[in-house]
Structure 1
């Protein structure tokens, strides 16, 4: 389905690109390597169970939660700037 001046499949291409970007971002946030015993931010002890469950973990639960809430606040509008993304 084409809309306006776009070619057939252009909308799907935008959707695919948005999904690929989201997957790339999620993969970049995955930990790699050995987990730290102490949090990088507050120097709190990171429990062994957390270190074993999440390879490459660098933050305690509290600092990780704060980081994720800051990242969620900075999520922008989608490629097409649809209203649903602006109504958050």
Structure 2
């Protein structure tokens, strides 16, 4: 095994660990029927597409824009 093989092995372990961390942080479950920020109903289609969501599309977009 040369240094390139070791580097590829290290990169694969690092990548797999990073993916596992992101997946562990993804919400699951039913979520909420109303946005926790503005109180507006969250459409059923969004709740099915994004399991565990707690924000409506508008509030989610605002949260993602805020640094």
* TM-score normalised per structure 1: 0.53
Which consecutive residues of structure 1, in runs of 5 or more, have no partner in the other structure?
3-7, 74-88
Give the Å deviation of 1:11.
0.8
Higher relative contact order (CA 8 A, sep 6+): 2
Per the alignment, residue 46 of structure 1 pairs with: 42
More helix by share: 2
Aligned positions, number? 66
Taking the TM superposition and a 5 Å limit, the aligned residue runs for 1:3-82 are 9-68=5-64
- The CA RMSD measured in Å over matched residues stands at 2.6
**Mind listing any 5+ residue stretches in structure 2 that lack a counterpart?**
none
